[in-house]
Amino acid sequence: MEEEEAKTCRKCASMERSARESERACSYQYLQSSSKIYAFGCQNLPSLLPLSPNIPLQLRETPFFLQNQKFESKTHLKKVSSRQNNLSLATSSYCKLQDFTQDIQRKVVLTCDNKNGTKTVDAQTKPMVLARRPDSGGVEGRVITLFANHFLVQFDPSQRIFHYDVEISPNPSKDIARKIKKKLVEEHSAVLSGALPVYDGRRTIYSPIEFRENRVEFYISLPISVGKTMKIPEKLQQHKIFRVNIKLVSKFDGKVLNSYLNKGDEFAPLPQEYIHALDIVLRDSPTEKCLASGRSFYTNSMGGEKEIGGGAVALRGFFQSLRPTQQGLALNVDFSVTAFHESIGVISYLQKRFNFINDVCQRNSRTLMNEEKREVEKALKNIRVFVCHRETVQRYRVYSLTEEVTEYLWFPDRNGKNIRLVNYFKDHYDYDVKYRHLPCLQISRRKPCYLPMELCVICEGQKFLGKLSDDQTAKILQISCQKPMERKAIIDGVMEGPFGPSRGNKAKEFKLQVERNMTQLTGRILHPPKLKLGNGGHVRNLTPSRHDRQWNVLDSHVLEGTRVERWAIISFGGTPDQKSIIPRFINQLSQKCEKLGIFLHKNTVVSPQFEPMHVLGNAKILESKLKKIHAAALNNLQLLMCVMERKHKGYADLKRIAETSIGVVSQCCLYSNLGKLSSQFLANVALKINAKVGGCTVALYNSLPSQIPRLFRPDNPVIFMGADVTHPHPLDDFSPSVAAVVGSINWPAANKYISRMRSQTHRQEIIQDLTAMVGEILDDFYEELSELPGRIIFFRDGVSETQFYKVLQEELRAIHQACSRFPSYKPPITFVVVQKRHHTRLFPCDSDQFSDENVPPGTVVDTVITHPREFDFYLCSHWGVKGTSRPIHYHVLWDENQFTSDEMQKLVYNLCYTFVRCTKPISLVPPAYYAHLAAYRGSLYLARSDSSPSTTISLASPPKTMPLPKLSENIRKLMFYC
C-alpha cells in the first residue's frame, strides 16, 4: 500500500511539473494546426486622464487560445442532459469549447485518484481575452455616408518619450503645480536639455528629449495668487518655496502601438502608457487656456456663462479623448455643456438656492431650523471660498457650519484669551457683522476657524456636483441641444480655434499631427422588422415605414391586452377645479383602454380618495391610507392610480409601500397632464398600465428564430438578460448603490422581463450578488417554460472602458456559478457592454438626403472608428427629435455563441422595437433599459421622505449597506418597474 501511494504521489509531482509545459504545448498545437487538442491541463483556463495604464483591458501575456476560434476536444465530449436535448448543433458543438473555457479564471486542478482519496495539484492558467471581431464587419442594410467626430492623429513610431516622476513639496493645488512646472522649464532649460515637456498636473512629466540627469532636484519660488478672481499687487503677493524632485521612470516609443494598430502581433496588449502620454500632450494647450473638468474643457470664449438658476451657471466647452480605432489613433472631440457654481457672495448664492434664506435675511432675528441648516451645510460642503473684508490670496474650503450662530461665537486668540467673533471683526476690520443669526462657515476640520457667510465669495470654476433641479436640467438641455449641423460646426470651430488640441507647439515637439477634418466613413441603415399587433383578437402585421419608424397603435390593438377589474384612484393635493376632472379622467382613460384592446373597468372598486399633499411627506400616514384602500377592495386590488398636484419626494415612499408592503402595482400622473387629457397622454398611460399588470404591446412578427436561424430555434429557448447599477449623486457619500438584473421569461417573443434588485456597497460597480439574482431569474424562467434557456445573452449597462476586464472577469464567473446550481447545465454565454455615456456622434454628409436631420433609425457603424480588434459597433436605433442623436456603443466582451456582426446587430436592433412603453424603436436595447428602470426603482426604496437627520449628513465612512425591502409575491413576476 505504501509503495503504491508513493508511486501515485511521484506521478502527481511529475504531472505538476509538466502543467505549464502542457499549456504551452496546447498553445503551440492550436496555433500550428486546426486539428483537435489533446494536451492535458487545458480545460480551465483638472488633469484629464485617459484610460489608466494599470487596467489590463488586454492580456499582459500570450493567451493559449483564440476565443472566437472553433475547435473540439474528444476529452470534453459529454452527454447532454435531457433538459438540454433540444440544443441546436451550433450550441452543442460549442458547448465542448465552453467546457474548455468556462473556468478560465480558476486554477487548473490536476487530480490523481488512489485508494485513499484524491490528491490535487494547482497549476496557474492564462487570463481571459476580450472577444475579437468575428469578421470584417456587417454587410446588411443600405449604405449611408457619414461624418464622425473623430480626428485622425498621425504619430512617429520612432519618437521616444521619457516618463519622469515629479514630487513637489509642500503639496500644491493643480493650478499652482502647473505654474511650478512652467517656471521650471523657463529657469532650468539647460538641465532639461532644452525640452518642452508636458505635465499631467499630478505626478507625471513626459518629455520628447531625455534630461541631462536621471534624477534632479530644484527649488522654485512662486508668488501664490488666487487667480482671476482677485488681482493682488505684486508687493502684497506671498512667495513660497517649493522643492521639486524629478526622476526618470521609463522610456518608450510608438513601435508597439504602431504594430498593434496595424494588427501585427495578434496577442500583443494595447500599449496604454504610450497612448496616455500622447493624450497628455494633446491636452496641454487646452489645459493652459481653458477650465478643465473631468475629461472636458470649458471656456467663456464659446458663448459665455448662462445662468440656469439655483446659484448655478452653464458653461459651454468641449470633450476630447484619444482612442485607438481601425483607422489608427483618433481624437474624439465633442461639444459639451455643464453646470458650475456661480462666483457670487455666499449669502446671495444661498438666496438663489433656497427660498427660506430670503425669509431668514429679511427677518434678521430668525435662525435656521434643523432641516434648513442641514440643506445649507450640504450645499456648501467642500466649496472653495475667498474673503472680501481684507486683501488676501488665500482660498478656503468649507468643512461645515458652526453649531452656534454668529452672535454667540467665541474663539481663543494667540494668547489663549477668548474673543467674541463679532467684536473681533469690529475691532480689526471696522466691520459690523449683519447676519448674526446665521451660523458661520467652519473652514477647518481640526480647530475652530470661523468665517461669517456675508464676508465670503464663492471661487469661480467649481463644477456643480449636486443634483440639478428639473428646471436647471431643462435649461442645460436647451443650451446643449444643437441640431446635427450646428453641433458639427461647433466641433469644427474647436479644432480650428485658438484653444484646440492641435494648437501650441507641444504637439510638434512630440511629432504629432492632428487632422482638422472629421472622419468620413460609410455606415448602413438596417431594415425595420415586421411587427405583430392585435386586432380585435386577431393578429395584425405592420412594418414601420415612416422616417422615424414610429407606428400608430390607435389604428389597432396591443398584442396582448389585460383585464383590470379591480382598481382604485387616490389624489394628493390639487385645487377644487383640478379634483373635479377626476370623473372625466376615469371615463376617458377607460375608453382609451378599450380602443387599444385593454379592459379597464369603468368604475373603481372604491370611490376616489382625496388627500392633502402633506400625506405624501409622512410615510406612516401614507401607508395607513393605502392599506385602507386595499382592505376596502377586499385585499384584491390590481391597480392603484395616483394623481399628484406636483412632483414630490414622497413618490419614493408610495412606490415602496405599494410594491413591498401591500403588493399592488401603481401608476402615477400629475394634475397638469390631466388638465389637457390629450389622446397621446391617455394612450401612454394605458400602455404602461397594460405592461405593469401583465400584458404586452408588440412583438416581432417574424420571431428571432426565423431571423437568426443559425443560432436560434423555436424549441430551444433563449434568455435575454440586462444588468445595471445605480449610484447615488456625487455629493452623497453614504447611500448604497443599487444593482438590478432583468431577464426575459417568454420565448420566442422575448418581450416580458422579470427583475431582481439588491443594494450593495456605496459606489461599487461590480454587481456583488449577481450569482443569486441570475439564479433566481433562471428559476422563474424554468417555472414559466419548464426548461432552462439554451443560450444566455447578457447586456451590461453602465461600465466604463477602464472597468471592462474586471467586470467581465467577476460577473462572468458569477453567471457561471449561477448556472452550476443546475446539474450539467453549461449554456453558451454572450456578454455585451452597453455604453450610453460616450462622445461619438454621427452626422450625415451634406450630399445625403438626411443632411438637415439626424441619422435615420437603424444606422450602424462597425468600421473605421470602432476598435481595431475587438467586437464593437455603434447603433443609432431611434429617431432623434431634438438635438443630435447619440448612438449606443455595443461592445461584445465575451461571445461563446459566436455571433456574426450582422446577427448581433440585427438582434439588438429588432429588440429595440419591443419596448412596452412606446410605439417606436428606442435608443437602448430593452434588457439594458429595463435593468436601468429596475435599479432606479430599487434606489427609490431607500430614499425615504421622512429620513432621520443622520441620513442626510455625510459620514466619514459609509455605514453598513441597508438591504432592500422584499417585493410582494403579487407583483414579483410583473413589470411593475416600467
For the chain, residues classed under CATH 3.40.50.2300 are 561-693
What distance in Å separates the CA atoms of residue 897 and residue 908, rounded to the nearest whole number? 15
CATH topology of domain 561-693: Rossmann fold (3.40.50)
The predicted pLDDT at position 235 comes to: 54
CATH 3.40.50.450 correct for 346-459: no
- Range of lowest pLDDT (178-182, 225-229, 249-253, 752-756): 225-229
- The stretch 69-85 carries a mean pLDDT of 36
Q: Mark 8-36 as b/e (b = at least 16 C-beta within 10 Å).
A: beeebeebbeebeebbebbbebbeeeeee
Of these ranges, 120-124, 262-266, 688-692, the one predicted with the greatest mean pLDDT is 688-692
Tens digit of pLDDT for each residue in 701-748?
A: 999 999 999 999 999 999 999 999 999 988 888 899 999 999 999 999
- CB of 384 within 8 A of CB of 462? yes
The predicted pLDDT at position 234 comes to: 55
Mean pLDDT, the chain, rounded, equals 85
- Range of lowest pLDDT (691-700, 889-898, 940-949): 940-949
The predicted pLDDT at position 46 comes to: 33
The predicted pLDDT at position 832 comes to: 98
Please name the residue that has the C-alpha cell 452672535: 407
pLDDT at 128 over 80: no
Tens digit of pLDDT for each residue in 454-464?
A: 999 999 999 99
Tens digit of pLDDT for each residue in 816-874?
A: 999 999 999 999 999 999 999 999 999 998 655 555 689 999 999 999 999 999 999 99
- The stretch 161-186 carries a mean pLDDT of 92
The predicted pLDDT at position 239 comes to: 82
pLDDT at 91 over 50: no
What distance in Å separates the CA atoms of residue 775 and residue 764, rounded to the nearest whole number? 21
Tens digit of pLDDT for each residue in 204-243?
A: 999 999 999 999 999 999 886 544 444 555 555 678 899 9
The predicted pLDDT at position 236 comes to: 54
Tens digit of pLDDT for each residue in 297-316?
A: 999 999 889 999 999 999 99
pLDDT at 431 over 60: yes
Alpha helix (H) residue ranges in 732-820: 770-785, 804-819
Contacts of 651 (CB under 8 A, 6+ apart): 616, 644, 668, 940
The predicted pLDDT at position 2 comes to: 43
- The stretch 243-260 carries a mean pLDDT of 95
Selected residue with higher pLDDT from 86 and 163: 163
**Closest C-alpha to 477, from 852, 881, 838, 883:** 883
The predicted pLDDT at position 946 comes to: 53
What is residue 800's three-state secondary structure?
Answer: coil
The predicted pLDDT at position 446 comes to: 81
The predicted pLDDT at position 953 comes to: 38
pLDDT at 48 over 60: no
For the chain, residues classed under CATH 3.30.420.10 are 699-944+962-973
Q: Mark 952-964 as b/e (b = at least 16 C-beta within 10 Å).
A: eeeeeeeeebeeb
CATH topology of domain 699-944+962-973: Nucleotidyltransferase; domain 5 (3.30.420)
Amino acid at 936: Y
Q: Give the rounded percent of residues in the chain with a pLDDT score beyond 90.
A: 73
Torsion angle, alpha carbons of 325, 330, 336, 340, to 10? 100
Alpha helix (H) residue ranges in 560-711: 576-579, 582-595, 619-632, 650-656, 671-674, 679-692, 704-707
- The stretch 260-283 carries a mean pLDDT of 90
What is residue 311's three-state secondary structure?
Answer: coil
What is residue 168's three-state secondary structure?
Answer: strand
| Sign of CA pseudo-dihedral 399, 401, 406, 408 | negative
Tens digit of pLDDT for each residue in 18-29?
A: 444 444 444 333
What distance in Å separates the CA atoms of residue 608 and residue 616, rounded to the nearest whole number? 17
Q: What is the pTM of this model?
A: 0.85
The predicted pLDDT at position 240 comes to: 87
The predicted pLDDT at position 954 comes to: 41
Tens digit of pLDDT for each residue in 736-795?
A: 999 999 999 999 999 999 999 999 999 999 999 999 999 999 999 999 999 999 999 999
The predicted pLDDT at position 649 comes to: 93
Tens digit of pLDDT for each residue in 498-540?
A: 988 878 788 999 999 999 999 999 999 999 999 999 987 788 8
Confidence of residue 127 (pLDDT cuts 50, 70, 90): low
Cell of 899: 455571433
The predicted pLDDT at position 68 comes to: 40
Tens digit of pLDDT for each residue in 400-430?
A: 999 999 999 999 888 888 999 999 999 999 9
The predicted pLDDT at position 959 comes to: 57
The predicted pLDDT at position 95 comes to: 37
- Range of lowest pLDDT (674-678, 861-865, 922-926): 674-678
What distance in Å separates the CA atoms of residue 376 and residue 352, rounded to the nearest whole number? 12
pLDDT at 317 over 80: yes
